[in-house]
């Protein structure tokens, strides 16, 4: 495929998002899809939602603009499945932005959307184990549920980090950019994955112009759910092309939302609270509690996302020692950082306490 088609797809999506976002802002006020500040909010005035619809329509519009000229046949059916499933996700998110749907209804919508894209041929059928051979999953009764669980998990992970101006759009763009780079590095680049990533990045960045602090509009669940849904699919499509990639790579690509979600689950379990109950212990909340402003907090998390993405790219290199070193360092830094800012517990900090005792022991023996 001519490389210019990727640029055209990115530019078309970006321009469409810039045009559509102000329209969605007016629509949000008209239908009453407005976020009113509460005890968990970091904004102080009512903000229009439905910005995610601008991302979604920009993505879909750009897809149909460039596809006739793209001459892509590989995985084009999955691209259509992404759009059909994404339509369900965007609709559910928009209804939630206006009507505050119950968690069960939102989960049902996500399940339907995941089943739609799986019915178009998307599945996790190969698991690459570090330092070992690839395991082929030939039984559909294993691969289909595994794929659906991954889609729903990543969809909700992006939704959970949507708490600050520009956070979800920026982190999603970085994750999509990482998948795009990895796809370009493959021996046989997947043109469809590259094109979809370029369009998703363009849609997100076009919206980010209005969403970065101080935000003029929020993406709402219509945006965060769609971005998570799209990234979950792209990570599977790109991941399956990399035979040397371990199962850790797609997790690292989406390291920020996945780690924040897992830490939230641990935190709520330790505090004996239901997993579904929202709190102010997420990464962005903890950073702001340390005195960082909203803009600096978002930029710090962007930096963390870039580090995760760089680690994922490095791990695609066929060097076992690199995989070991990166995995150990990332896990250690993740735990130390989480304990330092109190994202799990304000008092339970076992690794930091161990390192402190180790430092004191070394100093005493000098």
Please indicate if the annotation marks 221 as binding a ligand.
Answer: yes
Residue closest to 78 by CA, chosen among 126, 120, 112: 120
Please indicate if the annotation marks 211 as binding a ligand.
Answer: no
Q: Cα–Cα distance between 95 and 73 in angstroms, integer?
A: 34
Residue by residue, DSSP assigns 42-95 as S-SS-EE--HHHHHHHHHHHHHHHHHHHH---TTHHHHHHHHHHHHHHHHHHHH
Alpha helix segments (H runs only) across the chain? 4-31, 51-70, 76-99, 103-119, 140-160, 167-185, 191-211, 220-239, 249-253, 255-270, 283-289, 294-315, 320-341, 350-364
Secondary structure (3-state) at 134: strand
Tokens of 221: 């669940």
Q: Are 87 and 23 in contact (CB under 8 A)?
A: no
Q: Are 118 and 147 in contact (CB under 8 A)?
A: yes
- In the chain, the N- to C-terminal Cα span, in Å, equals 64
Q: What sign does the CA torsion over 324, 326, 327, 332 have?
A: positive
Residue closest to 156 by CA, chosen among 52, 51, 260: 260
Q: Cα–Cα distance between 305 and 173 in angstroms, integer?
A: 10
Residue 248, beta-bridge partner list = none
Binding-site annotation: residue ranges: 159, 221
Binding-site annotation: residue ranges for Mg(2+): 159, 221
């Amino acid at each position: 495929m001519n490389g210019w088609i990727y640029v055209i797809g990115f530019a078309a999506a970006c321009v469409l998002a810039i045009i559509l976002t102000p329209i969605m802002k007016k629509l949000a006020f008209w239908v009453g899809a407005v976020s009113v500040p509460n005890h968990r909010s970091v904004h102080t005035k009512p903000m229009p939602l439905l910005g995610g619809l601008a991302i979604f329509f920009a993505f879909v519009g750009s897809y149909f603009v460039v596809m006739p000229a793209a001459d892509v046949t590989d995985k084009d059916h999955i691209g259509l499945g992404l759009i059909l499933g994404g339509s369900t996700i965007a609709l559910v998110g928009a209804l939630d932005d206006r009507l505050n749907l119950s968690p069960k209804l939102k989960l049902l919508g996500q399940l339907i959307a995941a089943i739609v894209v799986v019915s178009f041929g998307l599945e996790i059928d190969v698991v690459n184990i570090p330092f070992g051979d690839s395991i082929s999953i030939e039984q559909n009764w294993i691969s289909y549920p595994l794929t659906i669980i991954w889609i729903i998990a990543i969809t909700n992970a992006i939704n959970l980090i949507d708490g600050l101006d520009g956070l979800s759009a920026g982190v999603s763009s970085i994750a999509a950019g990482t998948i795009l780079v990895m796809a370009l590095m493959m021996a046989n680049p997947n043109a469809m994955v590259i094109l979809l990533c370029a369009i998703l990045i363009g849609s997100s960045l076009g919206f980010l112009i209005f969403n970065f602090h101080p935000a003029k509009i929020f993406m709402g669940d219509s945006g965060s759910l769609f971005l998570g849904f799209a990234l979950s699919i792209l990570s599977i499509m790109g991941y399956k092309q990399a035979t040397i990639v371990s199962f850790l790579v797609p997790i690292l690509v989406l390291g920020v939302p996945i780690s924040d979600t897992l830490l939230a689950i641990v935190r709520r379990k330790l505090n004996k609270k239901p997993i579904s109950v929202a709190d102010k212990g997420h990464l962005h909340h903890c950073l702001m509690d340390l005195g960082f402003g909203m803009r600096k907090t978002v930029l710090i998390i962007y930096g963390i996302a870039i580090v995760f993405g760089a680690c994922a790219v490095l791990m695609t290199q066929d060097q076992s020692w690199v995989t070991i070193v990166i995995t150990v360092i990332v896990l250690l830094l993740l735990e130390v950082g989480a304990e330092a800012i109190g994202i799990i517990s304000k008092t339970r900090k076992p690794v930091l306490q161990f390192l402190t005792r180790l430092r004191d022991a070394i100093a005493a023996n000098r």
